[in-house]
Structure 1
């Protein structure tokens, strides 16, 4: 698993890289948030140890940029101040944990385990979003209406098309989404909404 560290203090980056190395993880560090965002490979699933308080672009702004890009990156926020209101915002934006500096190795190990689970979920969401991008507008409409619980007949009435047309679009969507049954279709639909 790729682990990134972003902190405006080079010594903190070095200390966390050393700690991660001792724990058996390879990592890469940045001290400039804009450089990090410019160099980031958005397709690579990763964990990011992210400083909350940075002068040019704070951790919440970096987290927001990652969310907009739909990156499969799990964020663990780091702070020297323990700012609870910002921690609440970060957690609502999907941060895995909020650790105070200097980082405790045991807490970091637990946070990394949670982050790996989050990365797995984010990676699956990205895969499903890619599959959904292949659907035509009509197929997407049909899937959304199926997810609302409508029958083929009700969908046909709502879209002013024949029931057979709905069946064709539904079958085509299921094929493109690589699902074999309704439960899988609904699960993919839920993931695509996340």
Structure 2
């Protein structure tokens, strides 16, 4: 999984890239948040070591932008002078961890493992949203009602359709979503609803 580092201090940027390399990880570095955000591929899962205090956009603002873009990037915030309220705010906004500089290799290794898992979850949600976007409006209605626990007959009554029509929409939706059974259909629906 890709690892990115964003910090406005060139020495810290170089030190973190060196630490990651020593730990066996390649990384890509940026010193400007706008450049990072412009170049980021929102479809690619990644881990971002993100400086909290930057003049242009601070780390929390970058985190908020990533959240709005629904980017599958798991964020580890870094700070030279963190405090408990900042850490709480960062975690509430979706950061995986909040580490103080200079970064300890053991804490970073733990945070990276958690971030990789989180990025995988974010990628699954993004994939589910892409799959759900393939559905027609009627297929989406049918899947929503299936996810709500309704039978084909109850869905047909609710939408004023024939049961056979509901079955066709349901089968078409399952094909488009690339799911083989109800459990997979429900998982895809739930993941795509965040």
TM-score normalized by structure 1?
0.95
Task: State the distance in 2 between where 1:111 and 1:169 align.
Answer: 43
Report what 1:141 is aligned to: 141
Moved more, 108-117 or 82-91: 82-91
**For 1:92 and 1:193, how far apart are their aligned partners in 2?**
19
Instruction: Pick closer, same or farther for the CA change 1:111–1:156 going to 2, 3 Å.
Output: same
- Provide the rounded CA distance (Å) in 2 between the counterparts of 1:86 and 1:164: 55
Task: Give the SS at the match of 1:50.
Answer: strand
1:109-150 deviations in Å (ceiling 9; x for gaps): 000011111122122222221111110011111111111111
> Which residue matches 1:123?
123
Aligned equivalent of 1:39: 39
- In 1, Cα distance between equivalents of 2:161 and 2:85: 51
- C-alpha displacement of 1:37: 0.7
Q: Specify every segment of 5 or more residues in structure 2 that has no aligned partner in the other structure, as ranges.
A: none
Query: Mind listing any 5+ residue stretches in structure 1 that lack a counterpart?
Result: none
Distance 1:122 1:151 in 2: 31
Cα displacement string for residues 139-171 of structure 1 (whole angstroms, at most 9, x for unaligned residues): 111111111111112212221222221111111
Matched, 1:168 2:168: yes
Instruction: Find the residue that maps to 1:193 and give its secondary structure.
Output: coil
TM-score scaled by structure 2?
0.95
State which drifts further: 98-107 or 51-60.
51-60
Indicate the RMSD between aligned Cα atoms, in angstroms.
1.2
Secondary structure of the residue that 1:187 maps to in structure 2?
helix
In structure 2, C-alpha distance between the alignment counterparts of 1:101 and 1:28, rounded to whole Å: 19
Distance in 1 separating the partners of 2:91 and 2:160: 43
Q: Is the 8 A contact 2:44 2:123 kept in 1?
A: no
Q: CA deviation at 1:49?
A: 0.2
Partner of residue 102, structure 1: 102
Deviation at 1:46, TM superposition (A): 1.0
Deviation at 1:85, TM superposition (A): 2.1
1:79 and 1:127 map into 2 onto residues whose CA distance is 32
User: Which residue of structure 1 lines up, in the alignment, with residue 49 of structure 2?
Assistant: 49
